[in-house]
Structure formats: structure tokens, C-alpha cells
Amino acid sequence: MKTISQRKKQPELVRRTLLDCAMRLGLEHGPAGITVQAVAEAAGVTKGGLFHHFPSRQALVEGLFADLVEKLDADIDAAMARDPKPRGSFTRAYVAATFDDPVLGEGNPGAALYVSAHAEPSVRRRWADWFAARLERHRETDDTPTLEIVRLAADGAWLAHLMREDGGVVPNLTALRERLIAMTLTD
Amino acid sequence: MKTISQRKKQPELVRRTLLDCAMRLGLEHGPAGITVQAVAEAAGVTKGGLFHHFPSRQALVEGLFADLVEKLDADIDAAMARDPKPRGSFTRAYVAATFDDPVLGEGNPGAALYVSAHAEPSVRRRWADWFAARLERHRETDDTPTLEIVRLAADGAWLAHLMREDGGVVPNLTALRERLIAMTLTD
DNA sequence: TGCAACATACCATTTGGTCGGTATGTTGTG
DNA sequence: CACAACATACCGACCAAATGGTATGTTGCA
């Protein structure tokens, strides 16, 4: 397999660009901003080109979600593997995944969920399923009221971050993150 | 001034119906589901009738938000007035407003924010402003890390609730609520 | 040559929005 | 009270633009 970066036609690169642009548009102009026109144009491609990679608009949005889940699973598994203490390890990994990444940038899993879930309501169900499955998997180590609050607070944190955009209350993310992690350790 | 309920034509009732239908459609089919056609039809009125009450689609969505802020302000002020302890009183009121209401039904302030903020991104800014102002107002009683976590967790809670719709992890709301309130008292 | 990766042109439908009309009120005046 | 003058609430047809999607090219790499 050749290196993708050397070929003049780079389908994988275009695909990623399309997904990135879709997310940016979703964040900036709301889910309604994700039109095939706009996304294709932003990615420097025509509609036809977009439909070559994604058979429908819904597939595009679901691609966003699929990427999210893949990345999130990987991040969480990696973080849990590095965690010596079993109790609350999933919650810590979840917090880390929410806060770390290109801190609250476009690569953030929360952002991807946010955009995809609202652009295509069917995704909400899939997210609920994923989360439920993951939670069930770590039931023995992460099923306490305090840990639940920590996870909810993490969700609320990036939600608050998204809401500000410019000129809102920006919580001290690093301090908040450490405090949440601390809560999982003293539980 | 006559009682509105006596008149045969009840514009105020129609207005409310339009707003309610807009929110329902937003919750069920995502922000994209709020089309003037669909909303008008759901409210048993024509597009022309809708545009009589709201000069534009954006005005309709902003009406949703305006209602939210009004109700939220009232609820919070009332709850704070009943609260004997000053410290954390705003946060407790915020939690109560988030959880109580027609529990996570259409009358819930969170739902209104959720829908309006995503349907029209301009509303995000206005929400950020409202929250920032309210927070500044209660800076002396509610500006601690723990209270911030409580508020964020409350946000996360109704977000989680919205995400489930059917077949997701439904947190025990009453238990969670009590636990969050407790956190504000021992802070 | 053959096939993947795009572009171009086109289409049916839906979108938010306007406009003229009408039925139903409300109000001022004698 | 009567009755004109006006305002409100709503309808129904229409519109330009944008939408998701398709069908048919063209181009470049192996």
C-alpha cells in the first residue's frame, strides 16, 4: 500500500476533509448548516464528489458519529489501560476524553456527538446505545452515584463550552478537570 | 379589559400552540424539524397564520427562547426566595428548575434552550449572556468549584435524558437531584 | 484498458417568505 | 342603540431560492 500523501488523488484525505468541514459548519451555523452544497464547497469539492464518498447526507452525518465512537473507544481504552486503579477508571477515562483532545476543538468527541446527534436524530439512539453498553461493561467499577455525577458534570462542561462561542462564562477547564478526577479517587 | 378566554378568536392561545408545536417538533425530529410548514400544520393553522404571529422563522425560535428565560427567571427567583440559606441558593434553584418542572417534558426550560439554541445558533450567545449575568449576580453565594460542578452535572443530567428518548440509560432523577442538593449544603 | 475519483448538468421537492383577500372582531361617534 | 371606520386574525395562492439526489460525463492513476 502506497502512502496516501504521495498520490495526487487522495480519496481518504478528501473524505476526512469532508467530515471535518461538516463538523465545522455544524458548530458554526447549527445542524441546519450541514448542507451537501456547503460541505462540498467548504471541502473544495463538488456535490458529485461528496456523493461519491457518502451515498447520502445522512450517511455523511453518520460517518461523523462513527468516527466519534471509534476515536472515543480507542481513547478510553488507552486511558484505562494506563490507569492502575480499577475503581472509577472508566469515569476518569471518560473525563479525560472529554477534556483533553484538541481542547474543545473540532476534534473533540463531544463536538462530534453534539453535531451529529442534532443533525440526524436517529443518531441519538445510537449514542444512547453505545453509552449504555459501555456503562454496563464497567458496571462493577463505575456504578456509583458520585461517579455518575462526575460524568454528568463532564458532559455539562463541554456543553457549557459550546454555548459560549464568544463572550460567555468560560470555566477553568484544567482546574475543573483535576477536581473531577479527584472526586473519582476519593469515592 | 375583557378576559382573553371569552373572545371567540384567541390569538394568544394560537401563539402558545405554535410555540409548543415548534418545541415538540424540535425535540422529536431535531432542529431541522422546525419548518414553518410543519409547525403551522401541527398547530392547525396555515403558514400565513403563523407569519402573522411571528414575522420570521427566526422570530418563532427566539420566541421559544424568550419564554424559556422568562419562566426560568421566575422559577429561580421563587425558589431562591423560599431558600433560607444564602450560600448556594442560586445553584439549588438552578438544579430545581432543571429537574422539577413537568419532569423533562415539553415545559422544561432545558428542553426549550436545547431546541432553540440548536435551531438558531444566534440564541447560543443570548443564553451565554443570560447565564453569565445571572452568575455574576450571585457571585458571592455561588462561586465555588463544588457548586459549579453541581450546576454542570444538572446540565449533563437533562442532556442525558434528552439523548435517551427510548432505550437509554435513565439515571434515577430524584436520587440524583437530592444528591446534588446535598452537595450544595455541605460545601 | 479499466476503474476509481471526481465534475457538470439537471430534476423534483421543500424551504422561508410575500401578497391580496376576507372574516371577525373592536372602537369611536351620533 | 346603530353604524361607519378601523384593526386584528387568519387563509390560500404564489414565488425565488435552496435542498437532497441522480444520471452522465471527464480525468487521472495503475
pLDDT digits (tens, 9 = 90+) for A135-164: 999 999 999 999 999 999 999 998 888 877
Arithmetic mean of pLDDT, B99-105: 62
Question: Which residues of chain B are within 8 Å of residue A118 when distances are taken between CB atoms?
Answer: 30-31, 118
Confidence of residue B143 (pLDDT cuts 50, 70, 90): very high
pLDDT digits (tens, 9 = 90+) for B74-101: 999 999 999 999 999 999 999 999 887 6
Task: Pick out residues 7-26 of chain A having their CB under 7 A from any atom of nucleic acid strand D.
Answer: 7-9
pTM of this structure: 0.89
| Structural contact between residues B49 and B14, judged by C-beta atoms closer than 8 angstroms | yes
- Residue B173 scores a pLDDT above 90: no
Question: Which residues of chain B are within 8 Å of residue A124 when distances are taken between CB atoms?
Answer: 162-163, 165
The alpha carbon of residue B6 is apart from the nearest alpha carbon of chain A, in Å, by: 41
pLDDT value of position A80: 98
Question: Which residues of chain B are within 8 Å of residue A29 when distances are taken between CB atoms?
Answer: 121
Range with the lowest mean pLDDT among A177-181, B21-25, B113-117?
A: B113-117
Contact A156 B151 (CB under 8 A): yes
Task: Compare CB distances from A128 to B33, B149, B167 and report the shortest one's residue.
Answer: B167
Task: Compare CB distances from A118 to B31, B164, B168 and report the shortest one's residue.
Answer: B31
Q: Which residue is nearest to nucleotide D13 (CA to C1')?
A: B48
Concatenated DSSP letters of chain A: ---GGGSSS-HHHHHHHHHHHHHHHHHHH-GGG--HHHHHHHTT--HHHHHHH-SSHHHHHHHHHHHHHHHHHHHHHHHHHH-S--TTHHHHHHHHHHHSSSTTSTT-HHHHHHHHHHHSTHHHHHHHHHHHHHHHHTHHHH-SHHHHHHHHHHHHHHHHHHHHSSSS----HHHHHHHHHHHHH--
